[in-house]
């Protein structure tokens, strides 16, 4: 997402040219913000000495005598390494980007203000346990201690560059609400299905329901869900039980469509808060096996969350260690954290390990509201709207822009924002019908209901067994996540936590009507009914965004993966009698593509009269089906698949719903291959009726032409890695359009294998002209429960958020070449890896 207005891009270009002439000064400016990592530093945020040990990757291991000192030091270190990232994130979650970047960000600010992320976070603060509140306050004190007495340009080079463009800005002190608000951003990126609801409603306006259903195929019954046996019985989930399930859809009236369209457009205004994903989408792989399948006789746990690519990485590695672990100081945990949030999100302590993937729970409903005389019409009668006015401050403008926010009984009216920004009439008169009633769309979302979810992070970090792990999981209400588990005693498990709405007679798959009786939530699914597994007979659990459990008595998920990645992992695990860490590490780069099974034989056998096209098609005759970076066959297959998706679907889809590189469209294509005469094959823009084989021939021709344009006419030089490259982009200045500035912040692109819906999930954006990676593993982790010091990890970019620092992108090449590094945990292992030591001393 380009954050900068045109005038600022020009200013940056002038500054960049000036900086080139003053290289020494530029170097000093960049290095001025680098963190101090050695020697004694006095701090007002702590009560006792804190040791901070770093290795050559800059990963901090923190040792303290109290939890408060531990989290204060984590806040201090996070600010040292990543403060601009933290500050940018809190501007996003507060709806204040326009203050930094100008009018182009007003739409984003308005949408987030309408949802009220920060207001929800403020309400959550008072709901937390006193212990969690203390830890948040300690973390905040650490951040602010680092900020104290530091000039803005000394905090990060981004401030220095923006200051040269005329921005006069001093970051405000950090607050606990800033940390909590980031959970809303996580939930927005990882949770819900409002875009799918808009898509269904849009398609049903012009296409028959059965043809729309082809775009949402059911998961292959041969692909195993996460929990292979279990059902709700007697108010609890019970492994081994079976139950039936039934779902149905609702229709929508024509007058509501415009409001739905406004709501859908505004959803695109929110930036990729966990990185830019594109059509490749975000996802994750995780698995755990018991000791009966490992060489060591103890479990191995693996996790690689797939988020949008960015620099710095969404995650920051850290170790948090009480010197004497006990009731007074119960933390001895290492793993991956979010800068700005205390604790470890994914990792292990001395007893247990855990990983996270997205379950794609259906936690959002779009509700079309009928508003009459300023009140919301419902089945029970009219209900009042809550109305408030917020002010959006915009860089370069003296007066703030007013924003009227309306909240109905089922959530904020997000369709209002589009009308206001387009300078249409006031919301009360926009989107109405002939009767004078107005239609608006409300977002009913579990994350907009305050919950003390951050309590779960602290509880998870100190859990010592499966019961304590489940108790911690029960506190995680939003964002919902698949939690996999292993412990040093040899147990493995899984738990689905999170708020899941109980709907009154509808399934939430498309927008519903607020004036009917079938729109409300009657509560949340009790935690006791949510699926879990503990030491399953197979000794294996794979959670890679596929279905959690089938069947289930209520609507549970929406937009989940079709299971191609999970099945590939399951097959590889089942085929290896004794798994060691080297084999486990090799699974990260499994490049098999399930779409080759139904499609490759058809491509190989297709009739082609043109020898020029046959020459390229013959690459597929000897291709092994692996999406390897050095493969010419993989390049031609990818070009052909993209062409098939475009030729099959785009003639009948509106522009905003065209070309997807995610596994849902792949699954739809795979199903259509079984039906050569399906209406989707026909090109509605031609007089004749096309069939499957016609589209295949056209796709092979188009792919041959695109291969020449993107690579060369010589197919011997074609390589998937020439098309499929990953280049990490800084979320703000990395897309400035000013080459010297972009070179400062963005590492050089590199070729990679894999792709969307593949275990090596370097997903690409099918709406672009190339196959540039937009989403992929943000980190990789293997935990060896037989010897925690034998574990391995790697991050997508590096520990530091400071461009030019040695730890800014030093893990990037390690990641794309799958070279995981030792993951030290014990005092001895940390000391052996230490290269720098710093001591925080009470001031």
Neighbours of 119 (CB within 10 A): 19
Q: What is the pLDDT of residue 249?
A: 33
Three-state DSSP class for 280? helix
Q: What is the dihedral of CA 418, 424, 427, 430, to 10 degrees?
A: -100
Q: What is the pLDDT of residue 290?
A: 98
The β-bridge relationship of strands 364-372 and 512-513 is parallel
Rounded distance between C-alpha atoms, residue 283 and residue 274, angstroms:
11
Rounded distance between C-alpha atoms, residue 266 and residue 282, angstroms:
20
In Å, what is the CA distance from 808 to each residue of 757, 781, 801?
29, 19, 6
Tokens (6 digits) for 719: 């390589």
Q: Which of 482, 74, 170, 135 is CA-nearest to residue 305?
A: 482
Question: Is the pTM higher than 0.85?
Answer: yes
Q: Which of 308, 350, 627 is CA-nearest to residue 489?
A: 350
Catalogue the E-assigned strands of 205-331: 231-233, 236-238, 283-289, 300-308, 316-322
Tokens (6 digits) for 455: 């309590």
Q: What percent of the chain has pLDDT over 90?
A: 71
Rounded distance between C-alpha atoms, residue 718 and residue 703, angstroms:
12
Tokens (6 digits) for 502: 């109980």
Residues 6 or more apart from 284 whose CB is under 8 A from it? 303, 304, 305, 306, 356, 357, 358, 544, 545
**Any known ligand binding at 365?**
yes
Q: What is the pLDDT of residue 258?
A: 66
Rounded distance between C-alpha atoms, residue 384 and residue 439, angstroms:
15
H helix or E strand, kind and range, residue 369: strand 364-372
Rounded distance between C-alpha atoms, residue 195 and residue 201, angstroms:
10
**Any known ligand binding at 197?**
yes
The DSSP line for 623-673 is: --SB--TT-HHHHHHHHHHHHHHHHHHTTTS-GGG----SHHHHHHHHHHT
Residue 142: CA count within 13 A, CB half-sphere: 33
Which regions of the chain are under pLDDT 50? 1, 17-18, 20-22, 24-25, 243-251, 275-280, 422-431, 434
Tokens (6 digits) for 191: 């949770």
Neighbours of 21 (CB within 10 A): 8
Rounded distance between C-alpha atoms, residue 257 and residue 206, angstroms:
12
Q: What is the pLDDT of residue 378?
A: 86
Per residue in 574-624, pLDDT (tens digit) is: 999 999 999 999 999 999 999 999 999 999 999 999 999 999 999 999 999
Tokens (6 digits) for 697: 């021939």
Q: Establish whether the linkage from the previous residue to 479 is cis, with ω within 30° of 0.
A: yes
Domains of the chain as residue ranges with CATH: 596-626+630-723 (1.10.1400.10)
193 with 559: CB under 8 angstroms? yes
In Å, what is the CA distance from 204 to each residue of 200, 201, 292?
6, 5, 50
Tokens (6 digits) for 42: 């006095």
Q: What is the pLDDT of residue 84?
A: 97
Rounded distance between C-alpha atoms, residue 269 and residue 108, angstroms:
5
485 with 226: CB under 8 angstroms? no
Active-site residue numbers? 284
Per residue in 281-328, pLDDT (tens digit) is: 567 999 999 999 999 999 999 999 999 999 999 999 999 999 999 999
């Amino acid at each position: 997402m380009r954050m900068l207005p045109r005038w600022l891009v020009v200013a940056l270009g002038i500054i960049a040219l000036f900086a080139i002439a003053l290289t020494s000064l530029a170097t000093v400016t960049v290095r001025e913000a680098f963190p101090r990592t050695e020697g004694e530093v006095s701090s007002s945020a702590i009560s006792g000495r804190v040791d901070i040990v770093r290795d050559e990757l800059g990963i901090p291991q923190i040792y303290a005598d109290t939890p408060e000192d531990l989290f204060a030091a984590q806040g201090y270190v996070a600010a040292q390494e990543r403060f601009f990232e933290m500050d940018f994130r809190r501007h996003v979650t507060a709806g204040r980007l326009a203050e930094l970047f100008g009018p182009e960000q007003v739409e984003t600010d308005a949408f987030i203000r309408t949802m009220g992320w920060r207001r929800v976070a403020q309400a959550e603060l008072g709901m937390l346990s006193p212990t969690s509140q203390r830890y948040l306050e300690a973390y905040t004190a650490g951040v602010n201690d680092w900020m104290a007495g530091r000039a803005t340009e000394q905090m990060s080079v981004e401030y220095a560059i923006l200051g040269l463009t005329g921005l006069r800005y001093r970051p405000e002190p950090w607050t606990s609400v800033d940390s909590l608000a980031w959970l809303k951003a996580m939930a927005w990126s990882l949770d819900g299905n409002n875009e799918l609801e808009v898509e269904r409603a849009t398609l049903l306006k012009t296409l028959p329901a059965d043809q729309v259903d082809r775009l949402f195929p059911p998961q292959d019954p041969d692909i195993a869900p996460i929990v292979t046996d279990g059902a709700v019985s007697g108010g609890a989930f019970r492994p081994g039980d079976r139950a039936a399930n039934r779902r149905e859809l609702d229709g929508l009236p024509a007058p509501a469509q415009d409001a739905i369209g406004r709501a859908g457009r505004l959803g695109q205004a929110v930036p990729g808060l966990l990185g830019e994903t594109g059509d490749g989408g975000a996802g994750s792989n995780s698995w755990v096996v018991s000791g009966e399948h490992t060489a060591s006789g103890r479990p191995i746990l693996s996790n690689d969350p797939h988020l949008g690519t960015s620099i710095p990485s969404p995650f920051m590695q850290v170790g948090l260690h009480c010197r004497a672990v006990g009731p007074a100081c119960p933390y001895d945990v290492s793993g991956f954290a979010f800068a700005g949030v205390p604790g470890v999100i994914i990792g292990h302590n001395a007893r247990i390990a855990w990983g996270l993937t997205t379950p794609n729970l259906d936690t959002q409903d779009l509700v079309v509201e009928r508003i009459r005389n300023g009140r919301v019409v419902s089945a029970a009668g009219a209900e009042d709207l809550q109305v408030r006015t917020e002010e959006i401050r915009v860089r370069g403008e003296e007066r703030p822009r007013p924003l009227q926010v309306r909240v109905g009984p089922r959530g904020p009216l997000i369709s209002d924002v589009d009308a206001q920004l387009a300078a249409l009439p006031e919301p009360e008169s926009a989107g109405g019908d002939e009767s004078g009633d107005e239609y608006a769309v409300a977002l009913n979302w579990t994350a907009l209901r305050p919950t003390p979810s951050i309590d779960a992070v602290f509880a998870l970090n100190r859990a010592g067994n499966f019961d304590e792990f489940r108790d911690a999981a029960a506190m995680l209400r939003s964002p919902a996540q698949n939690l996999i588990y292993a412990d040093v005693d040899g147990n493995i498990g899984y738990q689905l936590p999170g708020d899941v709405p109980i709907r009154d007679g509808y399934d939430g798959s498309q927008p519903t009507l607020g004036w009917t009786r079938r729109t409300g939530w009657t509560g949340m699914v009790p935690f006791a009914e949510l699926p879990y597994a503990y030491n399953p007979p197979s000794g294996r659990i794979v959670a890679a965004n596929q279905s959690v459990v089938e069947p289930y008595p209520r609507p549970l998920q929406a937009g989940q993966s079709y299971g191609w990645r999970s099945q590939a992992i399951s097959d590889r695990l089942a085929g290896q009698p004794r798994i060691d860490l080297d084999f486990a590490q090799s699974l990260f780069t499994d490049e098999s593509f399930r779409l080759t099974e139904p499609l490759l034989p058809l491509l190989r056998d297709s009739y082609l009269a043109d020898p020029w096209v046959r020459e390229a098609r013959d690459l597929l005759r000897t291709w092994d089906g692996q999406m390897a970076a050095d493969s010419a066959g993989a390049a031609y297959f990818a070009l052909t698949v993209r062409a098939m998706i475009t030729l099959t679907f785009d003639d009948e889809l509106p522009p905003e719903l065209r070309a997807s590189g995610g596994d849902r469209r792949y699954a739809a294509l795979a199903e259509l291959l079984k039906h050569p005469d399906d209406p989707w094959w026909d090109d509605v823009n031609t007089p004749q009726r096309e069939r499957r084989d016609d589209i295949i021939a056209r796709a092979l021709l188009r792919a041959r032409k695109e291969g020449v344009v993107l690579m060369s006419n010589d197919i011997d030089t074609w390589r998937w890695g020439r098309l499929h490259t990953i280049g990490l982009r800084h979320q703000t200045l990395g897309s400035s359009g000013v080459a010297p500035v972009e070179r400062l912040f963005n590492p050089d692109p590199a070729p990679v294998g894999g792709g969307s819906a593949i275990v090596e999930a370097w997903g690409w954006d099918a709406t672009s002209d190339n196959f540039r990676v937009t989403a992929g593993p943000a980190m990789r982790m293997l935990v060896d429960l037989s010897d925690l010091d034998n574990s391995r990890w790697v991050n997508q970019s590096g520990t530091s958020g400071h461009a030019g620092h040695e730890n800014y992108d030093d893990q990037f090449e390690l990641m794309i070449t799958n070279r995981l590094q030792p993951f030290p945990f014990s005092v001895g292992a940390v000391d052996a890896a230490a290269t720098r030591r710093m001591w925080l001393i009470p001031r």
